[in-house]
Amino acid sequence: MKVIRSMVLVSVDEASLQLGAQEVFRTFLDEIEAFGLSNQIAVTTIRDVGMHSDLPLVIVYPDAAVYGPVKVEDVHAIVEEHLYKGNIVPSLLAMMSELGPDVSWMRRRRGAMPVQKRVVLERAGIVDPESIEDYIVYDGFQALGKALTQMTPSQVIAEVDKSGLQGRGGAGFPTGRKWSFVASTPGFPKYVICNADESEPGTFKDRLILEGDPFSIIEAMTIAGYAINAQEGYIYIRGEYPLAYRRIENAILQAEQHGLLGDHIFGTDFSFHIHPHAGAGAYICGEETALIESLEGKRGMPRARPPYPTTFGLFGQPTVVNNVETLANIGPILRNGPVWYRELGSPKSTGTKVYTILGNVNFTGLIEVPMGITLREVIDIYGKGMKNDKKLKLVQTGGSSGTIAPASLQDTPMDFDSFRNAGVSLGSGALLVCDEDTCVVDLAKVILRFFRNECCGKCTPCRIGTLRLYEIVSQISEGHASLADLELMSKISEAMSEVSNCGLGQTASTALLDILKYFRAEIEAHIVDHICQAGVCPISMPSPEPDLVP
């Protein structure tokens, strides 16, 4: 009989893979074989654990020793000392202080509380994302079983509705209400779409859920299908996420083999099929109607709305479109009940939220915390403070389409309502922290270049507006603008947000307007005095070069 006494987990997210995780994994297998330990020690892979400074990580259970960064040459020492002799190798451990909160909690002593509240990411980093058995051991498919055997579709919707779950894709629409719209719309077939076209710059929470806990999405989509009476689901994964695609493909296959997806799930009359679908590189396809157009094999251009996808979606049929993170909440809600869920977070914004922390902080990565935490807490506790002890200048929240929060707003609680009142959007959960060396003109230029590139070209205000705004900001950075251009930018922005067809055009100038509001003096210094304090704009260069960007 095989008794596994120890488990070795090697991180295999994209970043670890490029730092040699594959070779590390193989070397572990070889070394364990060489020491004759193959019957006692299991080696498996885990996704990214939300930490990025010491990759690839190797975690050895049951000791929960975290080694990193592990090189191929370190493997021998870990196997010999730790796995064979039983002594942790201190010199190879990842520094406790270097570890992100997601990792350090693994090393917590018994009884100590984990720093974060993990609901969506409860399994990520603990289970093997390619094993359905692992998923089932960690409560997987319990929620689906409960829904199919003990609940009616309308009871499922009522539970989700009572939980107060709001869509995590950015708009924050109540999920239960969306489901009930589609359930009550006549017509068949109906479709469930998982929007995994996560393209908002600075956002990778959905990737980590797909890579780390793919079965949870399969389960949640099936529950959604049961709730709205659909038999087909699509998961639209952006083309830049090949690993996530492979994991989902594998999860679908395994779930089908176990009778947890496909025909007569759990032996009931309910059948549901999921089709993975890879995108081909277009930010706009994250907009739900553009995503549907793209699924139908066309250009990803947003439709005019109404009608909304809930009545006229994929192939003209009623369709639910849910974000990955939204779906990842469904299993926990059905298992633990809506009351439990409401106790997390703030009264109006329930549950937890996954954030990505980026930019000039000591630790960049991903956290899941209850709604209502402040920016200061995020930067100090999870970001481990500003890099090089620089001063915080601003935080862009919610990706490139998000707002700019100046340092003065860092004590506002982050939930949908408080942020809305402060004029800040939570959006996709990306928090781009910028220090005092950041030039706001340069930042605005990068953001506007992004929208100029990603605009689909369908409607005029967005097509022309994104181009004109980019041109004007470029002129400011080169010292060829006048103060009147600032008024022009405000006017263009206003027009774009009012008459653009979809969210891209409506939010493309959000950051720009905030920069104009909070940092006007700095922009005027560029225009009037030709001074770029940070020294990054072309006006501050000794010999001005033409802009290289096409």
Partner 1 sequence: MEPEAKELDLSSVVEKAVQEHGAERDAIIPILRDINQAFGYLPISALPEIRRRIQIPEEGVFLADSHLYSAASFYQMFSLRPLGRHIIRFCESAPCHVMGGRQVFQTLQEQVGLKPGETSEDQKWSLLTTSCLGVCGVGPVFLVDDDLYGGVSPERIPEILARYE
Find out whether 380 and 64 touch, Cβ atoms under 8 Å. Answer: no
Residue 245 binding partner 1, by CB under 8 A? no
Residue 234 binding partner 1, by CB under 8 A? yes
Site for partner 1 in 464-503 (CB under 8 A): none
Which range, of 10-18, 123-131, 329-337, 370-378, touches partner 1 by CB under 8 A?
10-18
CB of 539 to partner 1, least distance (A): 15
Residue 241 binding partner 1, by CB under 8 A? yes
DSSP sequence for 343-408: HSB-SSSBSEEEEEEEESBS--EEEEEETTEEHHHIIIIIS-SBGGGPPEEEEEESSTTSEEEEGG
Residue 352 binding partner 1, by CB under 8 A? no
Contact with partner 1 (CB under 8 A): which of 75, 79, 378, 432? 432
Residue 195 binding partner 1, by CB under 8 A? no
Which range, of 132-140, 165-173, 218-226, 352-360, touches partner 1 by CB under 8 A?
352-360
- CB of 69 or CB of 140, closer to partner 1: 69
* Rounded alpha-carbon distances, angstroms, from residue 290 to 113, 297, 503, 528, 549: 43, 11, 11, 42, 27
DSSP sequence for 491-517: HHHHHHHHH-SSHHHHHTTHHHHHHHH
CB of 207 to partner 1, least distance (A): 5
Q: What residues does 353 pair with on adjacent strands?
A: 369
In sequence order, the 6+-apart residues with CB closer than 8 A to the CB of 471 are none
Contact with partner 1 (CB under 8 A): which of 189, 242, 259, 337? 242
Contact with partner 1 (CB under 8 A): which of 56, 68, 153, 359? 359
Phi then psi dihedrals of residue 281, to 5 deg: 90, 80
Site string for partner 1, 35-74 (x = CB under 8 A): -------------x---x--x-------------------
* Rounded alpha-carbon distances, angstroms, from residue 373 to 369, 376, 382, 419: 7, 9, 11, 11
Residue 240 binding partner 1, by CB under 8 A? yes
Q: Other CB atoms closer than 10 Å to residue 36's CB: what's the count?
A: 9
Find out whether 92 and 78 touch, Cβ atoms under 8 Å. Answer: yes
Q: Other CB atoms closer than 10 Å to residue 128's CB: what's the count?
A: 17
Site string for partner 1, 125-154 (x = CB under 8 A): ------------------------------
In sequence order, the 6+-apart residues with CB closer than 8 A to the CB of 126 are 46, 138
CB of 263 to partner 1, least distance (A): 19
Q: How far apart are CA 534 and CA 65, in angstroms?
A: 42
Applying CB under 8 A, which residues contact partner 1? 14-15, 17-18, 48, 52, 55, 198-204, 207, 234, 238-242, 275, 277-283, 294-300, 315, 356, 358-360, 364-366, 396, 400, 430, 432, 434, 438, 442-443, 446-447, 449-450, 453-454, 456, 536, 548-550
